[in-house]
Amino acid sequence: MCAVWCLPGGEAWFRVDEIRPVTGRLTRRPGAPARLRALLDSAQMIVAPGAFDPLSARLVEEAGFPAVYMTGFGTSAALLGRPDVGLLTMTEMVGNAGRIAACVDIPVIADADTGYGNPVNVIRTVGAYEAAGVAGIHIEDQVAPKKCGHLDGKLVIPAAEMAAKIRAAVEARTQPEFVIIARTDARAVEGLERSLQRGRMYREAGADVLFIEALTSEAEAEEAVRAFPGVPLLFNWAEGGKTPPISLDRLKELGYKIVIFPISTLLAATGAMRRILQEIARAGTPAAAMRELPAFAEFVDFIGLPQVREAEQRYAVEAAAPGAGDWRYGW
């Protein structure tokens, strides 16, 4: 089956050769970096909605998107119930990224914050994310502890220090296809021109993709593209953030290669859970709202119960008689 998602006016912006169901495999599919690299080398714009846990990632895959973005903001909210202000450790972030990557077949792009220290720490960070099965990461030039890119009060490290981190990340990867995305948060601190200068330094240091965070207008989004002809750029469609909403057709026209929607799923889940809890508090049960929810049988199928049952049957052994032992081991 061929699927084409169309822009207003009929232009195709997102195309997959086949709509695949959510993966039924119980183990991670190898080769995620190569799949992401193939998308980068294609003419396709990579639209990657955010996921904050494996369930939301499976929903992204079910919807037919070519990649999924592990949001650091959403991970902090889901794991800690706290804002994205640098509270999570590298191992906590990698653990969430690994669980997400293990349950989908589409490549995962993951937030790696500041790289969690100096270039030596970045080397370990890259190795940990690679081992977790993600396809690529972005590292930012904020001072630790970092903040969400659309919160006030950010500080940035010297550009040369960040360039050294990018060089370390590029040289540390064991899979050449593993994608290193350099993010600069300097727009809010030093202005647009300085953030573009930083982007040039990070590209020279070996970054595969550039991420100019918290642009404040469509004109700035356009200027960023002009500054980097031929360089893959990531656009953060931050829901409610400092960057104004820009249509996908315009972003495609400008030439952005990756567009992330980091917290749409998080906000939607919060709203839905709030509504059902209010219904239980009001009525004493969720009965009146059940027709709006997925059926239980549908849900357990979605999360892979049929595949688990198939595996159980495939590897089942006959039950031994009570008291019987295994003669091979003298039991």
Catalytic: which of 53, 61, 103, 148? 148
Name the active-site residue from 53, 69, 187, 198.
Answer: 69
Concerning whether 150 is annotated as a catalytic residue, the answer is: no
69 belongs to the catalytic site: yes
- Whats the size of the chain, residue-wise? 331
148 catalytic residue (yes or no)? yes
**103 part of the active site:** no
Which of the residues 37, 58, 150, 183 is marked catalytic? Answer: 183
In the annotation, is 96 catalytic?
no
User: Do 23 and 54 form a contact (C-beta atoms < 8 A)?
Assistant: no
Which of 53, 84, 141, 177 is flagged as catalytic? Answer: 84
- Catalytically annotated residue among 37, 58, 138, 167: 138
Chain centre distance of CA 39: 15
Active-site choice (61, 113, 130, 185)? 113
The Cβ of residue 247 has, within 10 Å, a number of other Cβ atoms equal to 13
Known catalytic membership, residue 140: yes
What are the C-alpha distances in Å from 81 to residues 74, 88, 101, 262, 280? Answer: 9, 11, 22, 16, 22
Write down the catalytic residue from 130, 140, 177, 185: 140
Residue 138 falls in the annotated catalytic set: yes
Q: Considering 111, 141, 177, 185, which one is annotated as catalytic?
A: 111
Indicate if 208 belongs to the active site: no
Q: Which amino acid is at 109?
A: I
Q: Which sequence positions are flagged as catalytic?
A: 69, 84, 111, 113, 138, 140, 148, 183, 213, 236
